A and B are shown apart, each in its own frame.
Chain A
């Protein structure tokens, strides 16, 4: 009986995907649904929830700090896209080059930061970008006669630290994605191009870039998501969720502040739903424009 059931071509696939479906339903669909309904409530842990309709969303509209958080997350996302896509792609091409010296060494040293915990990395970066004269970055600036900078107290300098941390941490990961993409490009294309007299730059723009497109779109999609959902990096860099003038506050940071720190879960749920909406809109538009929804030729 069981054997017949398992060997059935109709049922077996479902049995195999069942664990995933269950996890997906319990840890994804259910929380998503309850957040959605919670965003229409005024609710605190351990106490009765009241339905308040669109009040949470109405409050969000006039909330300057939320706007600040959205702006911060958006700027962070754009900056990471500008840095974490072209540079890893370039490094991947260089490392993929057979004439490159020390390829394995560079590959692993670029990837290494991804293995460290964000908590440790954030703490180290906080010390490096400290405002005292003796902090690493300020002593380096001191050699050039530049006065100490209060990095983590200013909007621009704070973001320099934040993006530096992201770059240090994620360059290697994105580079690996591009490397695996590069491995899939047949060498014959390059040979043929060489015979036709193409320059290295032409080969890069006419062969490498188009054929890397699926990888690039994948990296772009996850980077958009990761940029908008960033939280721990900021929390660690500023040693808590309260950066001066909220210069490092992100959307998820604001969700955490409202939901966990202030026990205002309904409002936090509304923040989360808005984040989901923003991420979905940006990513779906991006995927649509890049033609990912077209049927395979």
Chain B
């Protein structure tokens, strides 16, 4: 009796297991078709992304496109896949010339890999040209090779500080008084003594903080020729500063390794860390994943080493591309420019995604930026654009070169862990990183 029951159970398990294997569809991700009110004759374009929210933005813009272009209507087939997975599949698909989508999002950190050799992406200069004067040039340059533009940017990604005012008030700290890192350190010591909580994070799996500190010193991770210089003096200075903060219990490592991870959302939501230094798009992470902090988070410029240094750096980014194998290249390009570069698109990028749009004119449109109905305006203590406009001329850039993916990989898997988790000597860790990067780029 027992045996028969077991056999049935086993068979059931096997079936479930096999069913699980067979269920996956074309690219293995979650697929949904957006029709945006398109008619029967609409062209179906496929779009891959690694951020579910990006699809929401396209959905809005698709409706507008289909109304304005009744003879060139589009249905968008959106596939969302995890970050690594999507980039790996896309890389193989575009290089081998089969299976690639018409439109795809490529994250800045992976973009140089797609520009290696002869890029298998469509040049977008002609559709960018009409908008070129309205958008931040450096954001387009990120996705370009030899003056050919291959990707359309999504945001500026200005880095800011997100302060948890509840914790700071408990410790008697006013975030508006924090100007330099020394101020931040003193405030942090006070917070740790009064509340036992950490002022901020020591990031081990992302280079946001390193980029900010390098940009303040006018330095970069690569030299003018694009060669890695991760053991430069400014980098040693940046790491020494962070390490000192860690030793004073001002910052501490966080589960997940940096603020933009699932584990860290939980830590922040539970009020264990008071500050995150992140690009502005981290706002959408707060509204989506840290609902307990609503009404408690204030946005401010990042502290500087010395007063007068630039207070922000563009961080992260997504370049949307059209592949060489797209069904209707011109249609895809026109739609992309419309959906990401037009004035309407830039307003929606703020409304839907909470990103700082690349058309900086939008930053001055009070009716858009200070709309009391906007979920981001409601969530945060102060209006992000008040801060953005204050630092708008101070937003620096860390170059993206063909060495960047390797640099990021080494720093974010090995070096930062060695420094902040193992307490390895900073100069030694950075020298090792430089050696490793050079070896890998050989």
Chain A residues packing against B (C-beta within 8 Å): 44-47, 59, 62-65, 104, 108, 112, 115-117, 130-132, 150, 153, 240-246, 260-263
Contact = CB atoms under 8 A, between A and B. Distances in A.
Contacts of B2: 104
B413 A263 contact: no
Would you call the interface of chain B mostly helix, strand, loop, or mixed? helix
B263 interface: yes
A45 B118 CA distance: 11
B257 to A, nearest CB: 7
Contact of B409 (A45, A59, A242): A242
24 contacts: A44-B116, A44-B117, A45-B91, A45-B96, A46-B120, A63-B440, A64-B439, A108-B10, A115-B17, A131-B255, A132-B255, A132-B263, A153-B421, A242-B412, A244-B413, A245-B413, A245-B414, A246-B413, A246-B414, A261-B87, A261-B88, A262-B113, A262-B405, A263-B91
A116 B95 CA distance: 34
A241 B255 contact: no
A243 B120 CA distance: 30
A88 to B, nearest CB: 19
Contact of B17 (A117, A131, A150, A243): A117
A246 B413 CA distance: 7
Given A47-B117, A244-B204, 10 more contacts: A46-B94, A59-B442, A63-B440, A108-B6, A115-B13, A117-B17, A244-B417, A245-B414, A261-B88, A263-B116
B387 interface: no
A130 B414 contact: no
Nearest to B87: A261
Nearest to B435: A64
Contact of A104 (B3, B94, B267, B442): B3
A153 B84 CA distance: 20
Contacts of B92: 45, 260
B182 interface: no
Given A117-B20, A150-B421, A244-B205, A46 B413 contact: no
Contacts of B84: 240-241, 261
Contacts of B91: 45, 260-261, 263
Interface of B: 2-3, 6, 9-10, 13-14, 17, 20, 84, 87-88, 91-92, 94-97, 113, 116-118, 120, 204-205, 255, 257, 263, 266-267, 405, 409, 412-414, 417-418, 421, 436, 439-440, 442
Contact of B113 (A46, A47, A131, A263): A263
Nearest to A261: B88
A104 B4 CA distance: 11
Contacts, number: 81
A233 B54 CA distance: 31
Question: 9 tightest A-B contacts by CB?
Answer: A45-B95, A46-B95, A244-B417, A242-B413, A245-B414, A131-B255, A132-B255, A245-B417, A47-B117
B6 A104 contact: yes
A249 to B, nearest CB: 9
A244 B257 contact: yes
Contacts of B94: 46
* Most A C-beta atoms less than 10 A away, residue of B13, B120, B414: B414
Contacts of B266: 132
A117 to B, nearest CB: 7
B117 A130 contact: no
B255 A260 contact: no
A104 B6 CA distance: 9
Nearest to B204: A244
* Most B C-beta atoms less than 10 A away, residue of A64, A150, A261: A261
A112 B97 CA distance: 42
Contacts of B88: 260-261
